[in-house]
Amino acid sequence: QQQVKQSPQSLIVQKGGIPIINCAYENTAFDYFPWYQQFPGKGPALLIAIRPDVSEKKEGRFTISFNKSAKQFSLHIMDSQPGDSATYFCAASRSGSARQLTFGSGTQLTVLP
């Protein structure tokens, strides 16, 4: 019940395309859903996050869509650029337990020039 399932494992798009990465969770106690971006040789870094009281959040070219009833959330990258090529992890946390992050398995995104 602690798992966060992420798909696809890898994704290749052309520059300007809109890659979409999906995540699903089971534990309804989760109340914070961040996305992390990781470049090769670097640690993951927070990209954008959402709470379940809203259905969508945008920050620049990055948008999270959240479907509470389906227990799913997704990351959309508008007008994707080669510099967006990285591994993306969804995650979830709940109050208590130090707000540990439960990570998805990651999606390796390649944006072709």
* Binding footprint of other proteins on the chain (CB under 8 A): 31-32, 34, 41-46, 49, 51, 89, 91, 93, 97-101, 103-106
The 10 Å Cβ neighbour count of residue 88 is 24
d(CA 26, CA 17): 30
Nearer to other proteins, 70 or 98 (CB): 98
Residue 41 CB, nearest distance to other proteins (Å)? 7
Nearer to other proteins, 11 or 80 (CB): 11
Residue 15 CB, nearest distance to other proteins (Å)? 27
Residue 46 CB, nearest distance to other proteins (Å)? 5
Nearer to other proteins, 17 or 48 (CB): 48
Nearer to other proteins, 1 or 97 (CB): 97
Determine contact, residues 14/33, Cβ cutoff 8 Å: no
Residue 113 CB, nearest distance to other proteins (Å)? 26
d(CA 73, CA 81): 22
Phi, psi of 64, deg, nearest 5: -105, 130
Query: Which is nearest to 6 in space by CA: 26, 24, 28?
Result: 24
User: For residue 107, what are its two tokens?
Assistant: 């999606």
